[in-house]
Amino acid sequence: MESYRVRKGSTEVLDTVKGDLIIEGSATIKAKTDTLQILGEIRVMEGTVTFDGGVVAQALIGEDCKVTFTKSLQLTKVELEDASLTVLGDLIVSDEVEIEDGSLDVRGNAKSKLFNIDNRLTIGGNIAAEKISIGGQAEISGETVAEEILIGGSFSANGIVRAGTLSVGGSVDLRSDAFIDVLEVGGKANTKGGEIKLIKIGGTFNGDGNLKFEKIQVGGKLTLRGNPIGGTIIVGGLAKIDANIQFNKINVGGTVKINGNGTGESINVGGSLSVNGDLKLTNKLDIGGTGRISGNLSAEEISVGGTLESLKVSATNVSIGGKISAEKGIKAVKVEIGKKGRIVGPVVAEHVRIRKGAKTELIYASEIIVERKAETGALYGKRITLEDCTVNGEVLYTENLESKGNVKFRIPPRKVDNLPQPPIE
């Protein structure tokens, strides 16, 4: 096949090139018809080159150049170095697009097996590929479909994103639904819904819309809005959820704020937990600092190092290091309040232990143990053991009362056949 050479500074009108098209420098090539057919490769030696019209060729190869196609471009491959490529129509490449130390700007749709671009990728329409690898920034206006997307800087997409893996070193902004197996971001990520199975964010994650997930892991701050449904949430700092949420596990080193109802398996918080609604857990609530639930709290096991406040507490085991307050009471199998702790509200349980120096109100249980220097309200139980403590209410028991040391009764204790009805159903 014969090659055709275009000299620097010239303007050529071409119909069909039966071999390679070699462009020696800055030039303009116009298609005689709607589409210029080049049976060989396009080779650009240098300069600014403009193709006026659609082009079909085997390959585009060049360096130290700026190439623009005013309409669509169809190739087998692109190999450019120190170059920028602009396509005002669609770009269809059957093999791969490689631009070393350069950028790609496609105003229409783009399709290739591989996009490997060092600097910037801009797509005005949709993009489809097996792999997209961008060293700097990528901005997609339409839909993105790829098995693997690797971005060194930032990635933004206005349309739906469908990917196996999206890994970004800097920031991500997904403005429509995303369906991704693994999302990994070094800095900040924003999403608008969809289904992302694994989310790993080094800095900040904002999730809006109806987001489904299996696991979210955030190093800094997490914010969820809309209608999130998922599995495990792990956050190093602050987790703020402005929605009703369904989950499996929440593990946060700092603070959890849920502005709505929470339903899940377990929560482990190193600092504080606040829920503006009800919280229902099938397993454990573990709080290192403070917890505040404006509605009802239910869990299999509750352990709080500091204080806990809720409208009503229902659990199998409750262990409080500091203070627990429940206006409508605490109902459990076992309740233990730590040394110098405090229970505000009635307690109905099978077993209750009040540690040294703690204070409680009404206690209703099968077995009640009150340790030294503790102070209680009324006690109703089958078996009650008291040691050097103060009881400010009445004491009713059906089986046994054991008093050790100096126990102060405001009202003399009485053994009865039957206890009154418990104050909590």
C-alpha to C-alpha distances, 355 to 31, 268, 366, 380, 389, nearest whole angstrom: 91, 24, 17, 18, 10
| 390 within domain boundaries | yes
Answer yes or no: is 387 within a domain. yes
In a domain, 423, yes or no: yes
More confident residue, 289 or 111: 111
Partner residues linked to 31 by β-bridges? 14
> What confidence tens digit (pLDDT) does each residue in 324-363 have?
999 999 999 999 999 999 999 999 999 999 999 999 999 9
First CA to last CA distance, the chain: 93
Which of 23-32, 93-102, 401-410, 416-425 comes out lowest in average pLDDT?
416-425
Residue 313 lies in a domain: no
The band of 113, judged by pLDDT with boundaries at 50, 70 and 90, is very high
Distance CA 423, CA 425 (A): 7
Work out the average pLDDT over 296-300: 97
- Asked if the structure places residue 417 within a domain, the reply is yes
Read off the pLDDT of residues 248-293 as tens digits, 9 standing for 90 and up.
999 999 999 999 999 999 999 999 999 999 999 999 999 988 999 9
Domain boundary among 68, 97, 126: 97
Over range 157-171, report the average pLDDT.
98
Q: What is the pLDDT of residue 356?
A: 95
Closest Cα to residue 6, out of 71, 50, 64, 72? 50
Choose between 265 and 322: higher pLDDT: 265
Q: Is pLDDT of 305 > 90?
A: no
Tally of structural domains, the chain:
2
Which residue range(s) make up the domain with 75?
Answer: 1-97
Instruction: Report yes or no: 50 and 68 within 8 Å, Cβ to Cβ.
Output: yes
Determine the pLDDT at residue 117: 98
pLDDT at 391: 97
**222 is a domain residue:** no
Classify residue 151: in a domain, yes or no: no
Establish if 43 belongs to a structural domain.
yes
**% pLDDT > 70, the chain:** 100
The domain boundary residue, chosen from 72, 97, 122: 97
What's the whole-model pTM score?
Answer: 0.91
- Residue 258 to residue 193: CA distance in whole angstroms: 19
> SS3 for 94?
strand
Cα–Cα distance for residue pair 38/388, rounded to 1 Å = 101
pLDDT of residue 424: 83
- The per-residue pLDDT for 370 is 97
Q: Is the Cβ–Cβ distance between 234 and 217 less than 8 Å? A: yes
pLDDT score recorded for residue 267: 96
Query: What does the angle CA 312 – CA 318 – CA 321 come to, to the nearest 5 degrees?
Result: 105
Alpha carbon distance 106, 90 (integer Å): 7
Q: Does 1 score more than 70 pLDDT?
A: no
> How large is the average pLDDT for residues 401-417?
95
Mean pLDDT across the chain: 96
